[in-house]
Structure 1
Amino acid sequence: MAHESTYVPGTGFERWVDKRLPVIRLGYDSFIDFPTPKNLNYWYTFGGILAIMLVVQIVTGVVLAMHYTAHVEHAFDSVEMIMRDVNYGWLMRYAHANGASMFFIAVYLHIARGLYYGSYKEPREILWGLGVVIFLLMMATAFMGYVLPWGQMSYWGATVITSLASAVPLVGDPIKTLLWGGFSVDNPTLNRFYALHYLMPFLIAGVVILHIWALHVPGNNNPSGVEVQTKKDTVPFHPYYTVKDGFAIVAFMILYAAFVFYMPNVLGHTDNYIGANPLVTPSHIVPEWYFLPFYAMLRAITFDIGIPFTDIVIINSKLGGVLVMLGSILILFVLPWLDRSRVRSMRYRPIAKWWLMIFFADVFLLGWLGGQVAEQPYILISQLATAYYFAYFLIILPVLSVTETPKPLPRSISEAVVADKAGSKKRKSPLGVTAGGTQPAPAE
């Protein structure tokens, strides 16, 4: 949302810098005086939380890289050395490992908020698309980072996931060989993953800058889904949202600290505290918890797709699983064009809201199924849950876009704020006094 700059240099040095490189003006206009909708709630604080977590991951990752040895004979022992012999190495390792989980908790809540309030709709399609790019880069970075400790689950997880590349016709095997650096997961694989895991967070930081830039062009969406009409609909970002975001960040960091200091290993798999052994396969290979919904969809495709009444197979089960897993993320790119409703917020779409709640429950179900053994009845349930996941985007949202009758929208953000306050007073009024009444409720 473009607005006229109100920055006034306070010193001669600031005037000198502003005339040559207006970086102070850019920061002031973007994070101090930026007009922000006055009705943003705490669901809009996860962007700031994610920015802080990205910094934490980069800083702790750089420190760990100073002591880590990317060699199959020494990687596992170097991690143990960091834990025992490096000053505060245990803190860096636990902060980095649990920071990945906190990162994904925040990003999933950030995506859920975007789905509920329609933050992907016009004119924010590029903003949403950049967010999906960040999500993909996060997943790739987290996967490669999970391989680096070179425990049992690290090794076998890398073997299973990289082997999926061979399902791609013609180019699959060369891609797999390139990832492995040979004919099996070995030292060249570990070196490749180490180099990429170190570099990709900086790539994520670059895309985050583009994401923030794309946010500041149309401005924030808001819970009512109504665009800013007048200056009365907004407040300056500082101090209103710097304080609100700051409180949310502190609360999130308390949760983060609880994991780091009191239960640092609860989110990890026990087999990954055993050194990698190519001759011993774990009884149940599973990825980290934040990949489980997609892992469930990958394993749900147990059938081949071919020409009926013939033995010709067009897509085998392995390729089908890979396509479904990738498609479950890539479909988010086209979401703005699948949901054609002019109403953004699910607050005013009573039918679509319940379908979305079922979708959220479906994702939780897929996450649980991803951690189960690949046998019946879990496979059948996974197939049904996967079918609903895609049906929500490809069938339910497009149909509701033209059939649902939404509730009346407020004429402005200010009107929505007044209505929310009136409703809150009516619900919370003591002694039975309503927003428009003055008489207490009769005594029982």
Structure 2
Amino acid sequence: MSFPWAEHYTPKMPLMRWLDERLPLPRLVYNAVGAGYPVPRNLNYFWNFGVLAGFALMLQIVTGIILAMHYAPAGAIAFQSVEHIMRDVNQGWLLRYAHANGASFFFIVVYIHIFRGLFYGSYKAPREMVWLLGLVIFLLMMATAFMGYVLPWGQMSFWGAKVITGLFGAIPLVGEPIQQWLLGGFAPDNAALNRFFSLHYLLPFVIAGVIILHIWALHIPGSSNPTGVDVKAPQDTVPFHPYYTAKDGFGLGIFLIAYSLVLFFAPNYLGHADNYIPANPLSTPAHIVPEWYFWPFYAILRAFTVDFILPAKLWGVLAMFSAILLLFFLPWLDKSPVRSGNYRPLFKKFFFFGLIPCVLILGYCGGAPAEEPYVMISQIASAYYFAHFLIILPLISKFERTLQLPNSISESVLHGEKQEAAPYGVDSTKPVTA
């Protein structure tokens, strides 16, 4: 196998040069996250969240591996093993809270990352594969988070597992066998705990593998940018290092400050108090809710209350999964030639005053009791959610009058000032020595 950048980079240190000749890892790092990777010069702080998501995943893997050394996936002692971690293991409370709150912060940065992609058109050609792989990562995250939520074996863990796996029972003919296969029986018990623990441990490494594919797919067309204009000249770019490593480092510092504030001062704020009660199959909680990052989809699930041809429960299950699968078709639903929402005035209005409030309302209703007026509000918001992607967005892309795009990235940065080739622009045609 030959590497197209082989003639453009030569390590300075003899040891690194020896390694590079036999295993081109230094070249790979240099061209993936170093000065050899040219990045649009106008990226804003919303482009930090991809790196933050990668950091959050590493945090979850490290803390999860250590917690797994002390956890016992058996119905009789699972809850006690978590209490053992909290009380008897050195710094166990810190590891447990870091892992639990790390999942919430992982979803926070991923949700911001997704909405950044939605606004700036990161799903449009030629980056469709980047978007599709990102959605696969999101689905794997949701599966991993659900299985992890079951492991403490508190009241909400047990009943959450019973309710969510019970959704598969709504599928005609094959639903109940699938549900029993997932649980290893007729109700959540030892078999379910062992299966969920095994998959919860494995899936983060699968996510890491898909992230490598995600980054690989990104490096083929290069990063998008807030204007949506393609790179046309070397002065449109700057090296990823040190310009964006410094910017990402600043964003990581802000992330760690917010994460530490929650971790040390409000570690149970994002959880549910009922999960500190041991699982009891004979006592149903008054209000069964999943973790907060599932609330928008849980609201869509509960929005269907009337049987129409199919049972209401089945309609809810189909709508909940369709809410995510719909995003896979977004590159072909939005046919506007303009990528960035900054140059699409009508799209911007529906995005900020339609889609974002809709998702926030669904999230609020998903965490509220299944009663009026929350059910009715969930129905209205669910209808708008699907209408936004299936009706409004295609119509906007067809009839919208977009604003004039800048001629280049440099022009958008300099605002009409005299453009000169930046001394730090990357010219891939010249050899680089570092």
TM-score range, shorter chain: over 0.9
The answer as to 2:179 corresponding to 1:176 is yes
Instruction: State the shift of 1:380 in Å.
Output: 1.1
- Provide the C-alpha distance between the structure 1 equivalents of 2:384 and 2:59, rounded to a whole number of angstroms: 36
Aligned to 2:332: 337
- Provide the C-alpha distance between the structure 2 equivalents of 1:74 and 1:419, rounded to a whole number of angstroms: 64
- Provide the C-alpha distance between the structure 2 equivalents of 1:303 and 1:409, rounded to a whole number of angstroms: 48
Which of residues 181, 188, 192 in structure 1 aligns to 2:191? Answer: 188
- Provide the C-alpha distance between the structure 2 equivalents of 1:127 and 1:150, rounded to a whole number of angstroms: 36
Matches within 5 A, 1:38-437: 38-306=41-309, 315-357=310-352, 358-419=354-415
- Provide the C-alpha distance between the structure 1 equivalents of 2:337 and 2:172, rounded to a whole number of angstroms: 41
- Provide the C-alpha distance between the structure 1 equivalents of 2:360 and 2:90, rounded to a whole number of angstroms: 39
Instruction: State the shift of 1:18 in Å.
Output: 1.8
Aligned to 2:10: 8
- Provide the C-alpha distance between the structure 2 equivalents of 1:8 and 1:420, rounded to a whole number of angstroms: 38
What is the total number of aligned residue pairs between the two structures?
413
Deviations 1:103-159 (A, max 9, x none): 000000000100110000000000000000000000000000000000000000000
- Provide the C-alpha distance between the structure 1 equivalents of 2:176 and 2:274, rounded to a whole number of angstroms: 29
Q: TM-score, normalised by structure 2?
A: 0.93
- Provide the C-alpha distance between the structure 2 equivalents of 1:7 and 1:108, rounded to a whole number of angstroms: 37
Task: Sort the Cα spacing of 1:263 and 1:253 in 2 relative to 1 into closer, same or farther, 3 A.
Answer: same
Aligned to 1:20: 22
Aligned to 1:29: 31
SS at match of 1:36: strand
Instruction: State the shift of 1:11 in Å.
Output: 3.1
Deviations 1:36-86 (A, max 9, x none): 000000000001101111000000000000000101110101101101100
Q: Name the amino acid aligned to 2:65.
A: V
Instruction: State the shift of 1:316 in Å.
Output: 1.3
SS at match of 1:131: helix
Structure with more relative contact order (C-alpha pairs < 8 Å, separation 6 or more): 2
- Provide the C-alpha distance between the structure 1 equivalents of 2:211 and 2:32, rounded to a whole number of angstroms: 14
Unaligned runs of 5+ in 1: 307-314, 423-444
Instruction: State the shift of 1:170 in Å.
Output: 2.0
Deviations 1:380-437 (A, max 9, x none): 1111100010011000110011100000000100011112999xxxxxxxxxxxxxxx
SS at match of 1:235: strand
SS at match of 1:305: coil
- Provide the C-alpha distance between the structure 1 equivalents of 2:93 and 2:4, rounded to a whole number of angstroms: 47
- Provide the C-alpha distance between the structure 2 equivalents of 1:332 and 1:76, rounded to a whole number of angstroms: 37
Q: Give the aligned CA root-mean-square deviation in angstroms.
A: 1.4
- Provide the C-alpha distance between the structure 1 equivalents of 2:301 and 2:415, rounded to a whole number of angstroms: 45
Q: Name the amino acid aligned to 1:16.
A: W
Q: Name the amino acid aligned to 1:410.
A: P
Deviations 1:11-38 (A, max 9, x none): 3332332222111101001111200000
Instruction: State the shift of 1:4 in Å.
Output: 4.5
SS at match of 1:356: helix
Most deviating of 294-303 and 373-382: 373-382
Task: Sort the Cα spacing of 1:122 and 1:3 in 2 relative to 1 into closer, same or farther, 3 A.
Answer: farther
Aligned to 1:312: none
- Provide the C-alpha distance between the structure 1 equivalents of 2:159 and 2:62, rounded to a whole number of angstroms: 28
Instruction: State the shift of 1:339 in Å.
Output: 0.3
Task: Sort the Cα spacing of 1:35 and 1:182 in 2 relative to 1 into closer, same or farther, 3 A.
Answer: same
- Provide the C-alpha distance between the structure 2 equivalents of 1:11 and 1:237, rounded to a whole number of angstroms: 21
Instruction: State the shift of 1:9 in Å.
Output: 2.0
Unaligned runs of 5+ in 2: 419-434
Aligned to 1:432: none
Q: Name the amino acid aligned to 1:390.
A: F
| Residue identity (%) | 61
- Provide the C-alpha distance between the structure 2 equivalents of 1:283 and 1:3, rounded to a whole number of angstroms: 62
Give the 4+ runs in structure 1 shifted more than 6 A. Answer: none
Q: Name the amino acid aligned to 1:326.
A: F
- Provide the C-alpha distance between the structure 1 equivalents of 2:253 and 2:373, rounded to a whole number of angstroms: 42
Q: Name the amino acid aligned to 2:344.
A: R
Instruction: State the shift of 1:233 in Å.
Output: 0.2
- Provide the C-alpha distance between the structure 2 equivalents of 1:339 and 1:420, rounded to a whole number of angstroms: 31
Q: Name the amino acid aligned to 2:396.
A: L
Instruction: State the shift of 1:372 in Å.
Output: 1.2
- Provide the C-alpha distance between the structure 2 equivalents of 1:261 and 1:64, rounded to a whole number of angstroms: 18
Q: Name the amino acid aligned to 1:248.
A: G
